Structure 1
């Protein structure tokens, strides 16, 4: 494949082995200036420490660090949660939801520095290449996209380390890395190692944040969450920003072993992959939102919200955030969420987040109507006529069969 002429490229930089190799590789193979872009999406101070110096030591002319934590939770995660999106019934889309905001911020840096190309370090086997490039196509179709893993001939971790050593570029990575991990404020994923064989049970090393449910406290903890318009606004009576609410609930969830899943999922590129994902605070939030929905959404509205959730899970997973369909689904779920206001008490105990109390001023639940005792608001004899009309088509079909 012939290379395009590039003068300046902005690379999504994490400080890990792959992107440390990418910077000098770009300079050598494209003879261009390389600007590093780092997205702070809550992956932790340890991963960000000294990252600007590391990028420049690898050959970057400059390094831009964008604090995206609050925006990611408020403008990407919370809107997605209103849809009820949960990919293939289990995955709360931790990596998927972070990609559009990272790509958007990367494009903004490219515009600022006058770059004519964008670069990512995603492999040719995964979903992230599609998520990044789908966003680039929607936001900056005029910029070239470089994907080194689809171009270079480096095939192993050892070759990447040798590449850096030959150029005297410092790197703290080693040959002993077993797992591939991706973290942000919402979750952490672990892939590779023993997980590549589906008959292997995950060991303790497969879990990076949460304590095992067996080792979690023997005393349950309750947390009270206030929900307004489908968003968490208070935790235990304290008003918090979306990001701070997530951090608060993460701390509680981690302690009680909440939010672990071990899943074999369908990647967009056609293969299946296995991963252990930890979403402690997110699992608690999802339980709270669904509990309030149970009170305020009628049957038809709830069914529609479920349909939106399935569709949204695939749109987010497949990297189609910046599309008219995604905007339409988010708008519809936002409208439904206007009534999703209430308060929920959740019990945290040994890996489980269980809703034990819930209330809402918009609740459609009426004790007067639902009671098994005597009431004056519902005449049970009326149900007979309803059922006869509701099942009329079945009755007519059956009568036709009898005539035959």
Structure 2
């Protein structure tokens, strides 16, 4: 009798390597490993595949998801200027629904009834994977071995790995938990768990210490077409290459570090450090171009929806109808967002140094304070009177009511006052 199949989101690390054996030994399942390349650091995806096969998986698929990641996920994040809690540009949260979609595809391909992941019960990723999978195919069962097994803390997990021949070169002294993709790096745990501790220098790998960055500014011109970054300094390139180059330029200038206390969806606060050089720079550039090109009411409405979009994605609701509805609005705003933004990087900072666009709604002839401006200042009086009419009406009525109340109060005092003559008559 054939075994049931499970598709595992595999990374090659300790947790997912032990997951393979746990699913085989404890649940008697055939394991199909899916390894997604979303631009993360690695020692070789083929080596990781060989490791999975050595653990006895029946198949291991290595999927290059980078182009899909930027075309369908990062581009949407840029359009939404996505910053969870106005700080974090959603690097991990963006990759999880993409990986989930490929896990579901693999389950359909191999006839698997289950999907497994290596997330803990304290993090956001478990929510993101399981919510995405549940939305894409509600019939699939999700198994979370790390959440379900009785292995206690990491030393017990390492002991289990050694017992079952899992070749994991790790020690109990591994200082940090790191997740990364093309969009950036997330670092947590270790000494970072004490929010009073300054992040050690060794956690940063994409960015130089701002104090050691070049002593002269670096200028970069970012070109956009309908909201999509498409060129650097006039050179056209695809988004994967553009993000890689921007990561290098911004990182060399010490820009892109985040150290924050973050509100996780599961209800606890965590201390997180991020490196997102390209993400922060491109979102800053995109926002500046929108300021130049979007009509005021559209821009204001968009600002009110950007945090909602970030919340939906952070909370694992990428495929929700609400998030998709916001996507439709965001997409409709981008037709006019074409032009060039000049960024200035200097010792850990990034500022917008210039902006230009054929779609700009900024009109220098209207905005100038020179004598030959095109703005009809005489029209301002009528505009002010009309827009303030409701407030003027309210103010007049408020004054009238106050006067009436004051008059009524005076009359009441006269009626209820003491009459000395009457007092004398009564007392007499």
Instruction: Report 1:125-274 matches (<5 A).
Output: 125-274=122-271
SS in 2 for 1:30: coil
1:295 & 1:194 partners in 2: Cα distance? 43
1:114-166 Cα distance to aligned partner (Å, 9 max, x none): 11100011111111111001110111211111011221111211111110111
Partner residue, 2:293: 296
Partner residue, 1:95: 92
Residue 384 (str. 1) matches residue 381 (str. 2): yes
Work out which of the residue numbers 393, 396, 413 in structure 2 matches 1:396. 393
Give the CA deviation at 1:55: 1.1
Partner residue, 2:412: none
Partner residue, 1:307: 304
Partner residue, 1:320: 317
Give the alignment's TM-score, normalised by structure 1: 0.96
1:323-367 Cα distance to aligned partner (Å, 9 max, x none): 221111111111100000001111111111111111000111111
Partner residue, 1:67: 64
Give the CA deviation at 1:44: 2.2
Residue 330 (str. 1) matches residue 330 (str. 2): no
Give the CA deviation at 1:376: 4.6
Q: Which has the larger radius of gyration?
A: 2
Give the CA deviation at 1:400: 2.0
Residue 39 (str. 1) matches residue 36 (str. 2): yes
Q: How many aligned residue pairs are there?
A: 400
Give the CA deviation at 1:265: 1.1
1:157 & 1:54 partners in 2: Cα distance? 21
Q: Tell whether the 8 Å contact from 2:19 to 2:146 is kept in structure 1 after alignment.
A: no
1:218 & 1:360 partners in 2: Cα distance? 31
SS in 2 for 1:344: strand
Residue 366 (str. 1) matches residue 363 (str. 2): yes
SS in 2 for 1:84: coil
Partner residue, 1:79: 76
Deviates more, 1:243-252 or 1:372-381: 372-381
Work out which of the residue numbers 342, 345, 350 in structure 1 matches 2:347. 350
Q: Tell whether the 8 Å contact from 1:84 to 1:308 is kept in structure 2 after alignment.
A: no
Give the CA deviation at 1:290: 1.0
SS in 1 for 2:369: coil
Backbone CA RMSD of aligned residues: 1.4
2:34 & 2:104 partners in 1: Cα distance? 10
Unaligned runs of 5+ in 1: none
Q: Tell whether the 8 Å contact from 1:213 to 1:351 is kept in structure 2 after alignment.
A: yes
Q: Tell whether the 8 Å contact from 1:74 to 1:243 is kept in structure 2 after alignment.
A: no
2:347 & 2:331 partners in 1: Cα distance? 33
Q: Tell whether the 8 Å contact from 1:107 to 1:140 is kept in structure 2 after alignment.
A: yes
Deviates more, 1:138-147 or 1:164-173: 164-173
Q: CA 1:6–1:373 in structure 2 vs 1: closer, same or farther (change >3 Å)?
A: farther
2:384 & 2:96 partners in 1: Cα distance? 49
1:62 & 1:287 partners in 2: Cα distance? 43
Q: Tell whether the 8 Å contact from 1:6 to 1:116 is kept in structure 2 after alignment.
A: no
Give the CA deviation at 1:289: 0.8
1:31 & 1:133 partners in 2: Cα distance? 22
Q: Tell whether the 8 Å contact from 2:206 to 2:248 is kept in structure 1 after alignment.
A: no
SS in 1 for 2:26: helix
Deviates more, 1:357-366 or 1:42-51: 42-51
